[in-house]
Structure formats: structure tokens, C-alpha cells
Amino acid sequence: MTSGWKDFRANDWVHSLFSYTGHSPTMATPRSTALEGSLKTMIEVFHFYATKQGDPHSLNKGEFHALVSTELANVLADQSDRDKVNTLLSSLDAVKNGEVDFEEYMSMLSSLAIKCNQLLTGAPAHRQ
């Protein structure tokens, strides 16, 4: 985490907003803002799939495929093509262990959000 987040009051916020139970992702609580609810959803979706098999802190190929084909079915083209999903997993897997951890998952969502913003706004690919 960057040094700018050293005063982040995560403990208070996480405990007041999250009640992760290991079941399906839940909607944001009434006390959360839209962005806080989005953060909560991204975290809960990851853990919903990661806890299905094996290591609960990462997504194996089956869990990753299930997440992508279910949660990004309208966003990613050819998400039902197992080879393309495996290629995506491989490109995200920085440590080359055949799994996607939370940071790698968030990298995917960040890249996807940037690309969507570019398409919606006509923003340039990179700022100089």
C-alpha cells in the first residue's frame, strides 16, 4: 500500500461496513456511499469465489473461470472460451503459481475500469 494510505482508518470502516460470512456477495449497507459499496462488492465477490476450493486467498483456474464467466459475462468478450480465460489468468498471475491473488484480481478490475473510462469518455490511453 502506498505511503499516502498510512492514516487509512480501515479497521473502523471495514468492521462497520463488512459482515463477510463466506456466502454470496451482499449489497452495500445503507451506511455506505456508492463508492464504498463498490469496494465492498469487489472484495466480497473475490472471496465468494476464492473460498470455493483450495486456498481461500487466491482464485485457482476453476474459480477464476467461474468468476469471469458469471460476474463479467457482459463485459469481457469470449469469456466462455476457456483458453482465453486461461490466457487472461496467465497474464494476471505475476508470481506464476497458476492462481490469481487479490492484488492480481484488483489489477484486472483496475485495468478494466480504465479501459471502460477510455471508451466512455474518449480519454487518451495514457497521460503524459
**Cα separation of 32 and 53, whole Å?**
30
Q: Find how far residue 9's CA is from the centre of its chain.
A: 21
Q: Does a structural domain hold residue 65?
A: yes
8 A C-beta contact, residue 4 and residue 20: no
The residue segments making up the domain with residue 86 are 3-121
pLDDT for the residue 18: 61
76/25: higher pLDDT: 76
Q: Does a structural domain hold residue 127?
A: no
Q: Does a structural domain hold residue 105?
A: yes
pLDDT for the residue 85: 82
Q: Does a structural domain hold residue 103?
A: yes
pTM over 0.85: no
Q: Does a structural domain hold residue 126?
A: no
pLDDT digits (tens, 9 = 90+) for 32-46: 789 988 999 999 999
pLDDT digits (tens, 9 = 90+) for 55-108: 999 999 999 999 998 998 887 766 567 788 888 889 999 989 999 999 999 999
Number of independent structural domains in the chain: 1
Helix (H, G, I), strand (E, B) or coil at 91: helix
Q: Does a structural domain hold residue 128?
A: no
Q: Does a structural domain hold residue 64?
A: yes
| CATH number of the CATH domain containing 65 | 1.10.238.10
The single residue listed with the C-alpha cell 465492498 is 40
pLDDT for the residue 41: 94
